[in-house]
A = this chain, B = another copy of it.
Amino acid sequence: MNIDQANQSAVEKMISAKPMLKGVATARDVIPGMKDNLILHAGPPLTWARMSGPVRGAMIGAMLFEGLARSEAEATSMAENGEVEFDSCHHHGAVGPMAGATSASMKVYVVENIEHGNKAYSNLNEGYGKVLRYGAYSDDVLKKLRWMNDVLGVALADALAQTDGIDMRALIAEALQMGDEGHNRNKAGSLIYLKTIAPLIVKVVKDDSVAAEVLKFIGDNMLSVLNPVMASCKAMTDAAHGVEGSTIVTTMARNGTDFGIRVSGLGEKQWFTAPAQIPIGKFFPGFTQDDANPDVGDSAITETAGIGGFAMAAAPAIVTFVGGTPEDTMKATLEMYQITTVENANFQIPALNFRGTPTGIDIRKVVETRIAPRINTGIAHKNAGVGQVGAGLVRPPMKIFEDALTEYSKKYKS
């Protein structure tokens, strides 16, 4: 078996994938294996006992949102007694930023890779501030979630139903020409999304003041498009999974306790995990590095697909948010070419003379170069209910790539 050929095949699938944002639907109706007493979380599978503060907070919030519990105490007790189930978003074709809390009643984006037929899902983005994904679950947070589900989600569903889908590959490509990297900076992508969907929303939402509110919410939230982008990256990377003999990473995800990866030529639920690191970054006024929770969120699916931290050179302005200098953004992308397999011509970086983004992390190269992938990330407060405290950069522990390579060697006796 030729590993390089297997990797080319896997990466070819990732790159040729054509993710289309097809619709918005209720999670229980579309997400495989979704159940009323199941709450999905980001990252590799995790028990309640090992969950960090913000992830517990988000799970509590989701239980309150679903009406599974009526108070924090009741939710905690149910979780401790196993009366509610938790599972990894990734085991259900889904991804969610930060805690990734996704429950049965929530509206989710439906992305279909029309090249290979697989689908992926992601919840709706709440914007900045006190939000469920950072572990906040106050009445205000739940009220906003209900508005998002009943008003925003319905508007998006009705609007998208008027289309054949939004070409997310084209959207990401254009956003990278406009200073986004697609993970921590989605200003341009969110506006392209607004531009595409605004005329449709106006047609399907009958109440003018509601339509105005929906357009304002999408337009003012610079992360509006993050979740469809993540689902698109999930659809791309899932297409690359399961190629016999491939050493390409098809998932990187964090649950606030562990960092986990999956590899194309290894099992679908075979995670390689180690304790998640604490991101280094810029903190909002009043917070410091000491407040930071270990790395959390499925959003590293963007880096897995070759954007985000891998496309930092496209987004020099991001340093005002994550720290460092514009020169660092160039270095970050250039470094990632050393651990990846191809340059994705669909996603070009103007400042690198339109070089394609570094795509297809090879666990062999990571172990050999000792260069771990770079991930742009938001930083959650370590306590439940506080929210985001900053943004920065993080790398996965080297050990998980070594473990994956060991397992690969066993399986393929190479």
Contacts and interface: CB of A to CB of B under 8 A. Distances in A.
A206 B207 CA distance: 10
Interface string A215-246: 11001100000000000000000000000000
Contacts of A215: 198-199, 202
Interface string A349-370: 0111110000000000000000
Given A177-B179, A194-B198, A219-B195, A317 B350 contact: yes
A187 to B, nearest CB: 6
A3 interface: no
Contacts of A211: 202
Number of identical monomers bound together in the oligomeric complex: 2
A272 to B, nearest CB: 36
Nearest to A329: B350
Contacts of A414: none
A188 B178 contact: yes
Interface in A151-207: 177-179, 187-188, 191-192, 194-196, 198-200, 202-203, 206
A114 interface: no
A80 B352 CA distance: 53
Interface string A311-322: 000001101100
Contacts of A188: 178-179, 188, 191
Contacts of A397: none
Given A178-B179, A191-B192, A316 B350 contact: yes
Contacts of A212: 199-200, 202-203
Interface string A74-112: 000000000000000000000000000000000000000
A332 to B, nearest CB: 14
A57 to B, nearest CB: 31
Given A194-B194, A326-B352, 6 more contacts: A177-B317, A188-B188, A191-B192, A191-B194, A206-B208, A351-B351
A213 interface: yes
A212 B211 CA distance: 11
24 contacts: A177-B317, A178-B178, A178-B187, A178-B317, A179-B179, A179-B188, A188-B191, A191-B192, A191-B194, A194-B194, A194-B195, A194-B219, A195-B219, A196-B219, A198-B198, A198-B219, A199-B212, A199-B219, A202-B208, A203-B208, A203-B209, A203-B212, A316-B350, A326-B354
Interface string A248-283: 000000000000000000000000000000000000
A288 interface: no
A192 B220 CA distance: 10
A353 to B, nearest CB: 6
A191 B196 CA distance: 11
A37 interface: no
Contacts of A219: 194-196, 198-199
A325 interface: yes
Nearest 9 A/B pairs, CB to CB: A195-B219, A316-B350, A191-B191, A199-B212, A177-B317, A317-B350, A199-B216, A178-B179, A202-B212
